[in-house]
C-alpha cells in the first residue's frame, strides 16, 4: 500500500509540475528564457529517492513534453530519464537538505539538457550558431533554473519527507551511521575491516605465533 501511495503522489507532482511548466513558467519567462521546472523535479527526486525513482520521474516528465510539444517522440523522455538517473548517483552520498548539492546538479544537468536539445535542432534545421546558442540560451537558462531551484527545492523536499514514505532519513545516511557505530564501539570503528586484515597479517597476535611453533615442531618430528 505504501509504494502505491508514493507512486500516486509522485505522479500527481509530475502532472502539477508539467502544468506549471506550460503556464506559470511561460508567464515568468524573460525574453525567450524559461526556467526548467521539470528538470528540477527530476534532479530532486533522483537526489532524494535514488536512481530508480529519478529515472521514472524523468521518463514520465519527458513523456508529457513529447506528447504535447515534442517534434521527435521519445526524445525528451530519454533526456529527462537520464537526468533523473544521473542525479540518483548522489543518493546516499550527499545530504539532500544541503542546497548546494541540487544547485550543482541542476546546473550540470541543465547544461547537458540544452546541449542535447541543440543537437536535435541542429539535425532538424541543418545550421544553428553554437556559440550564439551558448551565451544567448544555455547560460541564461542555467542561471534562471538554478535561481528557481533555490525556491522550489524546499517544496519538493517537503513533499518527499511529509507526504511520501522516506527512502532514507537523515539519521540513516552513511555519515550518521558511521558516527553511531563509532559511538557504540570506538575501538571497532577506529580501523576499517581492511585495516584489521592488514594488521592481522603484518602484526600477528600470540595465537599466530603458537600455531607456527606447533607446525615447526611437527615438521621436526
pLDDT digits (tens, 9 = 90+) for 76-102: 999 999 999 999 999 878 887 889 999
Q: What is the pLDDT of residues 25-55, one digit of tens each?
A: 989 998 889 999 999 999 999 999 999 999 9
Cell triple for 64:
508529457
| Predicted confidence (pLDDT) at residue 120 exceeds the cutoff of 90 | no
Q: Which of 18-32, 45-59, 201-215 has the lowest mean pLDDT?
A: 201-215
Beta bridge partners of 33: 30
Euclidean distance between CA atoms 38 and 16, whole angstroms: 10
Contacting residues for 78 by C-beta, under 8 A, at least 6 apart: 62
Q: Are residues 144 and 163 in the same domain?
A: yes
Q: Are residues 91 and 193 in the same domain?
A: no
How much is the average pLDDT of 128-156?
A: 92
What are the φ and ψ backbone dihedral angles of 33, each rounded to 5 degrees?
-95, 115
pLDDT at 181: 52
How would you classify residue 194: left for phi > 0, otherwise alpha for psi between -120 and 50, otherwise beta?
alpha
Q: Which of 81-85, 155-159, 216-220 has the lowest mean pLDDT?
A: 216-220
Cell triple for 187:
575501538
| Predicted confidence (pLDDT) at residue 140 exceeds the cutoff of 50 | yes
Domain enclosing residue 186, as ranges: 174-220
Q: Are residues 139 and 178 in the same domain?
A: no
Q: Are residues 98 and 191 in the same domain?
A: no
Cell triple for 62:
519527458
Is 156 in contact with 44 (CB distance < 8 Å)?
A: yes
How much is the average pLDDT of 157-176?
A: 65
Percent of the chain whose predicted confidence (pLDDT) is above 90:
52
Average pLDDT over the chain, rounded to whole?
A: 80
Q: Are residues 52 and 152 in the same domain?
A: yes
Q: Are residues 118 and 197 in the same domain?
A: no
Euclidean distance between CA atoms 79 and 74, whole angstroms: 9
Q: Are residues 140 and 40 in the same domain?
A: yes
Q: Are residues 179 and 164 in the same domain?
A: no
Q: Which of 91-105, 136-150, 195-209 has the lowest mean pLDDT?
A: 195-209
Q: Are residues 187 and 80 in the same domain?
A: no
Q: Are residues 210 and 104 in the same domain?
A: no
Distance of CA 188 to the CA centre of its chain: 32
Q: Are residues 158 and 203 in the same domain?
A: no
Euclidean distance between CA atoms 7 and 15, whole angstroms: 12
Euclidean distance between CA atoms 142 and 34, whole angstroms: 10
pLDDT at 199: 40
Radius of gyration of the chain (CA): 25
CATH number, domain of 111, equals: 1.10.1760.20
Greater pLDDT, 87 or 192: 87
Number of separate domains in the chain? 2
Q: Are residues 116 and 193 in the same domain?
A: no
| Predicted confidence (pLDDT) at residue 159 exceeds the cutoff of 80 | yes
Residue among 58, 33, 53, 70 at smallest CA distance from 145 = 33
Percent of the chain whose predicted confidence (pLDDT) is above 70:
73
pLDDT at 166: 64
pLDDT band at 119 (very low <50, low <70, confident <90, very high): confident
- Name all contacts of 135-139 with Cβ < 8 Å and 24+ positions apart: 137/32, 137/33, 138/110, 138/111, 138/114
Amino acid at each position: 500500500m505504501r509504494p502505491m501511495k508514493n507512486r500516486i503522489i509522485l505522479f500527481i507532482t509530475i502532472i502539477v509540475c508539467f502544468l506549471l511548466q506550460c503556464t506559470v513558467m511561460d508567464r515568468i519567462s524573460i525574453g525567450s528564457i524559461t526556467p526548467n521546472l521539470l528538470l528540477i523535479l527530476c534532479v530532486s527526486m533522483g537526489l532524494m529517492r535514488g536512481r530508480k525513482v529519478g529515472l521514472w520521474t524523468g521518463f514520465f516528465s519527458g513523456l508529457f513534453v513529447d506528447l504535447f510539444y515534442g517534434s521527435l517522440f521519445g526524445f525528451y523522455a530519454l533526456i529527462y530519464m537520464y537526468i533523473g538517473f544521473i542525479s540518483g548517483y548522489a543518493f546516499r552520498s550527499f545530504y539532500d537538505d544541503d542546497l548546494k548539492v541540487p544547485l550543482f546538479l541542476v546546473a550540470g544537468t541543465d547544461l547537458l539538457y540544452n546541449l542535447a536539445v541543440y543537437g536535435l535542432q541542429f539535425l532538424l534545421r541543418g545550421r544553428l550558431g553554437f556559440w550564439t546558442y551558448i551565451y544567448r540560451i544555455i547560460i541564461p537558462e542555467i542561471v534562471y533554473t538554478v535561481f528557481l531551484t533555490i525556491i522550489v527545492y524546499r517544496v519538493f523536499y517537503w513533499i518527499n519527507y511529509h507526504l511520501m514514505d522516506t527512502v532514507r532519513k537523515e539519521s540513516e545516511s552513511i555519515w550518521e551511521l558511521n558516527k553511531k557505530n563509532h559511538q557504540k564501539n570506538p575501538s571497532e570503528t577506529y580501523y576499517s575491516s581492511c585495516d584489521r586484515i592488514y594488521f592481522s597479517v603484518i602484526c600477528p597476535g600470540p595465537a599466530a605465533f603458537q600455531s607456527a611453533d606447533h607446525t615447526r615442531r611437527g615438521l621436526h618430528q
